Amino acid sequence: MLADRVRRLPNVKLLDRKTELGGWRSMTATEFNEDVHSVARGLIGMGLQPGDRFSIMGYTSYEWMLIEYAGFCAGLTLVPIYETDSTEQIAWILEDADPALVVTETAAMRDRVNAAKDSGKSLKNVLCLEDSAVVRIKEAGGDVPDFQVVDRSKALTIDDLAMIVYTSGTVGKPKGVELTHGNWVELMANGMRWMPEIAGYPSCRLLVFLPLAHVLAQFLQLIQVWGQGTLGHAPNIKNLLADLQEFAPSYVMVVPRVLEKIYNSAQAAARGHRLTRILFARAVKVAESYSRALDTAEGPSRSLRARRWMYARLVYGKILALFGPNMKFIISGGAPLSEDLGHFYRGIGMPVLEGYGLTETCAPMCFNSIKNYRIGTVGPGVSSLFLKVSEAGELMVKGPSIFKRYHNNPEQTAAAFDGEWFKTGDLATIDEEGFVRITGRAKDIIVTAGGKNVAPSALEDPLRQYALISEVMVVGEGKPFVSALITLDPDMLPGWLKNHGLPSMDVLEASRNPDVLSAISRAVERVNARVSRAESIRKFKVLPTAFTVENGLLTPSLKVKRKETAVAFAAEIEDLYASKSVQ
C-alpha cells in the first residue's frame, strides 16, 4: 500500500510528524518510504526471515508506524502489544505468537517484556525506543542492499499474514486473530471506492490517537495511506484539544466516551450560572429537535431554523471550536453512541458517523457514510461484505476482509463460524435499506430470576451521559431484579460539587455523600423511565474505585470487562441483593 502511494503521489505530503520541540514536520510519501526502507534493511540485517513475527509495544507515534511498515517491507508479521498489557498478558502473546523481536516505547515496558521473555522460544532482541531502538536497527542494515527489501516486498502475496492481533475482549484469554495482506487490500480498495469522502481527497487530514495495537487504529492509518491526504499521530488523548488545534484534522475517530466527556464538560461549565444553565438546556433541545427534523419529509421549520441560527452563535460555535478549524465530521466506534448525543452533535453542525466492526473483520464491518447515514444505526455493511441475522438474532457476516482463523486455536475458529458465515456474537436487526442496529451483545444479556431478558447497554449507555458518572455495569443474572455498579468521573466531580454548593471532596467521600447519591438516584430514575419495570435498575452501588485499563477492568477500547469487574466487586454485588428493600 505504501508503494502504491509512492507511485501515485511521490512528492505529496503523507505525514505531519510531531517533533520533540513542538510543532509538526512534514514528510512526503517518498521521504517516508526511504526511512521505511532504511529500517527494513536493518531488520533484515538482524537476521529476521520472511514470515518471522515481530512485536511493537508503545504509544501511537510516527516511530510505531515506521517500524511497522518496515516490517511489512521485510516480509514480517506484526504482533501488536498494548502498552497497558501486564506481564502475564505479554507472556501469553510471546508464547502463542512467538515473535523474534520486540520493540518497546519505554524502559518500563521493556522490563515487563524481559520479565516474560522465557515464554517465547524465538525472542532474540528486546529493543527500546527510549534507548535509540530505531538507530540501532538502522545500523544493523548498513551492509544490506536495498534490492533485498524490494525483493521481499514483491514476494508477498494476499495470503501472507500481515498481522496477528490479539483481541482485547471482555471475557477469556485473548485470541490471536490472523489478518492477511489480502484482508486489508480488499477492505481498502473497496472502501475507498465506496466512501471516498473519508480519505480520497488531497486536503483530508487525520489525527490518529487510538492505540495502534487496536485494529481500528490500524484501519484508519492504512486508509489514509491508501488515500490522498495527510496523517498525524498523537500518543493519547491527554492533550487532545491542543492537538486538534495544532494539527487541524478534517476528521478523527473517537470512542463514544470522548464525545460524552466533551458534552458533559460543556454542560458542567454552563451550570455555573442560572442563565447559562437555562441557555444551554434550551440549546441542546433545539439541536436535537433540528437533527430529528432533518429525518422528516418536511425538514426543520422556519422557526426551528431561526432558533438554531441563534444558538449557533451563542452556544454551538464554542463547542465546535474545540474540534479545530477544519473538522468536517467525526467517526465513532468501539461502543454504541446514544441517539440523543448523535442528534445533538448533528444538530450543532458536527455529524458523528457511527460504525461497527471487530478485530476479526479488520475493524469496519458496517459504516454510516456522510452522504447517507442514520443516527441510532451503525450503517449498512461496507462494500464487498454480506450480512444476515440468524434465527437467534445474531449478526453474521462473510466476505474477503473477514479473518480465516485464530492463531493456534482450531477449536475457537470452528466455533466462530457457521459454514462460511462468521458469527459476531452481537444481536442486531437489519432494516429494508440495509441499515444495521446493534441491540446488544449476546453473551452480555442478563436473564433475571423472573426470566426477563435485559440488554445492559440500554441502561448503561444513557447513564454514562450524566456528567457525574464515569462507568456503569449492570448486574442481575439469575437475580430477582437488576442492579448496577457505578463509578464517578473524577474530572467532572470538582465542578459538579461547586455548581451544587457542596464542599470539595475526593471520590471516596463523594461515593458516600447523600447529595451525590441523590443525584445519581435521579439519573437512574430518568433512565428507568425508558424501560419496563422488570428491566429497570432497582438498586445501585457507587464505587470509590474507578474502572481503568490499568487496573484491568476496561479494555483498551474502554469497554467494561464484565467478568473481571464482577469478581473484583463480588462482595458489593452480593450486598445489593442481601437486603430485600428495593426501589
pLDDT band of 132, cuts 50, 70, 90: very high
pLDDT band at 170 (very low <50, low <70, confident <90, very high): very low
Task: Give pLDDT tens digits for 32-89.
Answer: 999 999 999 999 999 999 999 999 999 999 999 999 999 999 999 999 999 988 899 9
**What are the pLDDT digits (tens) for 239-259?**
888 999 999 999 999 988 889
b/e per residue 455-485 (b: at least 16 CB within 10 A) = bbbbbbbbbbbbbbbbbbbbbbeebebbbbb
Element holding 473 (H helix, E strand):
strand 469-475
User: Which residue bears the cell 441542546?
Assistant: 284
Please say if the pLDDT value at position 582 is more than 70: no
| Across 257-265, average pLDDT | 88
Cell representation of residue 92: 501469553
β-strand 453-454 against 469-475: which pairing, if any?
A: unpaired
Write the DSSP symbol of residue 530. Answer: T
Per-residue confidence (pLDDT) for residue 239, from 0 to 100: 85
Question: What does the alpha-carbon distance between residue 230 and residue 568 come to, in Å, rounded to a whole number?
Answer: 44
The reported pLDDT for the residue numbered 269 is 86
Q: Cell numbers 433475571 correspond to what residue?
A: 448
For strands 436-441 and 421-430, give the pairing. Answer: antiparallel
How confident is the model at residue 583, as a pLDDT? 56
Higher pLDDT, 198 or 346: 346
Whether 439 shows a pLDDT value over 90: the answer reads no
What are the structural domains, with CATH classification, of the chain?
2-156+195-200 (3.40.50.12780), 445-578 (3.30.300.30)
Greater pLDDT, 559 or 183: 183
- According to the model, what pLDDT value does residue 169 have? 52
Cell triple for residue 221? Answer: 492509518
For the stretch 296-340, pLDDT in tens is 999 999 999 999 999 999 999 999 999 999 999 999 988 888 899
Closest CA to 420 of 394, 395, 402, 436: 402
HSE of 478, CA atoms in CB hemisphere, 13 A: 2
Is 18 within 8 Å of 230 (Cβ atoms)?
A: no
| For the chain, the helix, strand and coil percentages under 3-state DSSP, each to the nearest 5 | 40, 20, 35
The pLDDT score that the predictor gives to residue 105 is 97
pLDDT of residue 191: 75
Amino acid found at 116: A
Q: Where are the alpha helices (DSSP H) in 158-316?
A: 181-194, 215-226, 240-247, 256-270, 274-294, 302-311
Burial class (CB in 10 A: 0-12, 13-18, 19+), 117: middle
Strand order in the sheet with 13-18: 24-28, 13-18, 230-233, 205-208, 251-254, 329-332, 352-358, 363-367
pLDDT tens sequence across 73-91? 999 999 999 998 889 999 9
Q: Which helix (H) or strand (E) segment is 577 a member of?
A: helix 570-578
Res 171: pLDDT: 52
